Amino acid sequence: MAGFVQLVCACFALFTVVTDAILSGLYIDNGVDQTIIHHTITRHERMVVEHEILDLLGLGERPRRSKSPPLDRSAPSFLLDVYKQLAEEHEQARPTRSSDMALSGDEQQAIDESDLIMTFQSKRHHLGVLRHGHGRHIWFEVAGTPGDASSLLAAELRLHKSSSHTEDPTSLYTVIAHRVINVDNLGGLELKQVAAVNTSAGAEGWLELNVTSALAAWLTSPADNRGFFITAHPHSQPERHIKPEEIGLEEPRGVTTEGRQPFLVAFFKSGPNLGSTDLGTRRKREARRLRNHSYSENYVKNPLADTAHWTTRSCQIQTLYVSFKDLEWQDWIIAPDGYGAFYCSGECNFPLNAHKNATNHAIVQTLVHLINPTTVPKPSCAPIKLSPISVLYYTDDSNVILRKYKNMVVKSCGCH
């Protein structure tokens, strides 16, 4: 355990904040199997570290929520299952429960290709509950989505259907999602069909309707978002409309359908609005924060490079754990509580063998360093393989985002 370093919450900081009286700082192993505090983090330093992590997550500020996360609702429950699937693929965790939200091939492809997945829970709209024939109005707030139409891969409206007890279970029906284009003064609706799906009265589960075109239009012009209007008719009688509840479609805000409300899920690929930060902008912002916040010399100094704390060792992977929970972000980050980031540390000394994962260039550089050590430095110990992580978080009291972050976990180190 000699040389073991436990780091939590940021580059070199461990925050164990329960009350203001508890110290926060960097903890290192003192070489005799004891963890000691290396530096106490000030309030200003903590604030800067939090801002840096939020920048990394693509957020200007932390989301503010008014109540505890209702994870049993359909939208967050869906993304929690997707998160667990991704975590299993990257060996971060194992799923703890099964889901009734079976994924189609197109959905699985969208999950694999997307960098950001967002779900929207249905909400009430100022138009009220529109009634036109036997249809049902459903509306989602999509303004402020961290993506635009150009980065949208796909969007899907999911409606839960229970088995109907009033119709022949084998009877076939068509469920149609219309985009509400306009509403006149008398309540008349101008509709545009965007998707349809066939089902039977006895079927039970989630219906998926491809509404990519509608969401793309609303992201381009949010003022045009008047929601969807859902209709249903017998498959062989398109002129005969029936009430959606007659074939088991759940109400948007039913008291007994907490985990089966309609929701919208959108898949986005990396784009200009997905939180990517220009390097020059980041450097300017970091310089401004250094001026605005009182950094101590101990904090600016990289404690991992301070070899006084442990003996020299060969290049290898070291423990680094980032804890969102210790940052007290559990009110908006659903999962994970934290993740093992790891880091690379150690010397790249001659001879460089296969165990050090040295590149050919590093081997040549080492030989030249032996000849002229004052001119050519030794190769550096750095990551050679990294893996992504996924973070699941609320943007407000209902909408949820699952975001993938590349190159976040060091898997192996080598000499470069």
Measured in whole angstroms, the distance separating CA 132 from the mean position of its chain's CA atoms is: 38
- Between CA 46 and CA 268 the distance in angstroms is 32
Q: Identify the CATH number of the domain defined by range 116-268.
A: 2.60.120.970
The arithmetic mean of pLDDT across residues 399-410, rounded, is: 90
pTM: 0.75
| Residue indicated by tokens 């992201």 | 219
Phi-psi region of 297 (alpha: psi -120 to 50; beta: other; left: phi over 0): alpha
Per-residue confidence (pLDDT) for residue 276, from 0 to 100: 45
3-state secondary structure of 139: strand
Residues 6 or more apart whose Cβ sits within 8 Å of residue 177: 157, 193, 194, 195, 196, 209, 211, 214, 228, 229, 230
Task: Please name every residue paired with 26 in a beta bridge, in sequence order, or none if there are none.
Answer: 39
Does domain 5-59+275-393+406-415 bear CATH number 3.30.365.10? no
Distance (Å) of CA 217 to CA 53, 74, 182, 388: 32, 25, 14, 31
Highest mean pLDDT among 76-90, 95-109, 342-356: 76-90
Task: Please name every residue paired with 273 in a beta bridge, in sequence order, or none if there are none.
Answer: none
Distance (Å) of CA 196 to CA 36, 74, 105, 177, 239: 62, 21, 18, 6, 15
pLDDT confidence bin for 216, thresholds 50/70/90: very high
How many CB atoms within 10 Å of residue 46? Answer: 19
b/e for 208-225, b at 16 or more Cβ within 10 A?
A: bbbbbebbbbbbeeeeeb
Per-residue confidence (pLDDT) for residue 409, from 0 to 100: 92
- Between CA 65 and CA 332 the distance in angstroms is 7
Per-residue confidence (pLDDT) for residue 116, from 0 to 100: 93
Instruction: Name the least confident of 109-123, 290-304, 400-414.
Output: 290-304
- Choose among 271, 249, 250: nearest CA to 259: 250
Per-residue confidence (pLDDT) for residue 268, from 0 to 100: 95
- Between CA 246 and CA 60 the distance in angstroms is 46
Q: Is the peptide bond before 222 cis (omega within 30 degrees of 0)?
A: no
| Element of type H or E holding 195 | strand 189-200
Distance (Å) of CA 286 to CA 53, 141, 301: 12, 34, 15
- Between CA 13 and CA 27 the distance in angstroms is 8
- Choose among 41, 244, 264: nearest CA to 135: 244
| Residue indicated by tokens 């550096």 | 380
State residue 206 phi and psi, 5-degree precision.
-100, 135
Is pLDDT at 194 greater than 90 in this prediction?
yes
Residues 6 or more apart whose Cβ sits within 8 Å of residue 5: 28, 29, 304, 318, 319, 320, 345
Is pLDDT at 212 greater than 60 in this prediction?
yes
- Percentage of the chain lying above the pLDDT 70 cut: 70
Is pLDDT at 299 greater than 90 in this prediction?
no
| Element of type H or E holding 409 | strand 400-415
Task: Please name every residue paired with 175 in a beta bridge, in sequence order, or none if there are none.
Answer: 197, 232
Domain borders along the chain are 5-59+275-393+406-415, 116-268
pLDDT tens, position by position, 244-293? 888 888 776 655 466 788 999 999 997 544 544 444 444 445 544 544 54
Q: Residue 300 in contact with residue 44, Cβ under 8 Å? A: no
How many CB atoms within 10 Å of residue 47? Answer: 14
Q: How is residue 230 written in tokens?
A: 């859902």
